[in-house]
Amino acid sequence: MNPRRPPPSRPQSPAGRAPERTDRNARPARPENPARPENPARNERNERSDRNDRGGRPMGPRVAPPRVTVTEHATGDTEVVFGLRAGLAVQAARAESIVAIAYENAVRDEIGPLRAWAAGRGVPCEEMAPRALEALAGTAHHEGLCVTTKPRVWMPASSLADRLLATRGVALALDRVRNPYNIGAILRSAAFFGVDAVLLGAPAPHPALPPDAVRVAEGGVEHLTCVRTTDLADTLMRLQAKGIRVVGADGASKQSALGYAFARPTVLVLGNEREGLSERVAARCDARVAIPGSGAVESLNVAVAAGVMIAELVRAKPATKVQPR
């Protein structure tokens, strides 16, 4: 019987340990970052792509054009009309003057047609947080909409007489009426009753429409011809010279405005909230009328008085004759 042979001993590592088993399926490791031969043609193409086709100068990294924001349009050469009805009226009356629109989420659906119009014409239209909109409007009473426009076009005072003579129309003149809420309420009544024009008189610089007045007018401003002057008395004199009658509202007058026969064309003048008509303007009036009351209070607010007098003013306006066909 042959004795068993002892098993062959495994070769020892230098440290006296058996070598680790290797995986027969493992792929041999690739050398890191093998060097590739340079391709002169490729390098030349890349160099050409980095050069400007016209000047041959190296071009920098491509940068997206800056995004023009709504606030960047609000400059000294523009006006900001705020208020929901006031802003929508701008689109209806003078859409070509709109340069940017800003609104808050609360009115998004209500101004849907305005947003669609802006998108179709490339007019910037941006949704803003209430605080940002307040900063743009300069007031918290923006009603969720600000429309930035080109400056409002004013009719020259020298053209007002021709307009009134051609239409046998009526106009309002405001003598130093300063409260924007009163101005806005007067303009709203004037637009409601179909007054042809409003003449603003105040010392230099040229009187302008306060933004709050435009908002309070609820869009009425866009339906009125606006005229301004720094010398109302002189402007009234020039209107009279062309045949325009001037009637002043004066609480001390004994002539009632109710039922008064206003001639055509006529300018009705309303005075300052406290002082009434100035002496120079009062002297230019062909007649002065008042609204009779109970005497319990001295007078009406100028905006309320304007509404009553405008109703009387247009009531007597002759109807336009329809020409037979």
**54 — pLDDT class (breaks 50, 70, 90):** very low
| pLDDT above 90: residue 150 | yes
| pLDDT above 80: residue 59 | no
Q: How far apart (Å, rounded) are the C-alpha atoms in residues 145 and 2?
A: 109
Please give the model's pTM, rounded to 2 decimal places. 0.74
pLDDT at 28: 53
pLDDT at 203: 76
Pairing outcome for strands 245-249 and 266-270 = parallel
Both ends of the chain: CA-CA distance in Å?
144
Q: How far apart (Å, rounded) are the C-alpha atoms in residues 128 and 135?
A: 11
Cα dihedral 308/89/203/290 (nearest 10): 0
Element (H, E) at 240: helix 232-241
Q: Which domains does the chain show, CATH number per domain? A: 70-149 (3.30.1330.30), 157-315 (3.40.1280.10)
Q: How far apart (Å, rounded) are the C-alpha atoms in residues 113 and 144?
A: 15
pLDDT at 298: 87
pLDDT at 66: 38
Q: How far apart (Å, rounded) are the C-alpha atoms in residues 166 and 115?
A: 39
Asked if 124 and 115 touch (Cβ cutoff 8 Å), the reply is no
**68 — pLDDT class (breaks 50, 70, 90):** very low
**Look-up: residue for tokens 């304007």?**
306
Of 144-153, 187-196, 307-316, the least confident: 307-316
Q: How far apart (Å, rounded) are the C-alpha atoms in residues 210 and 221?
A: 11
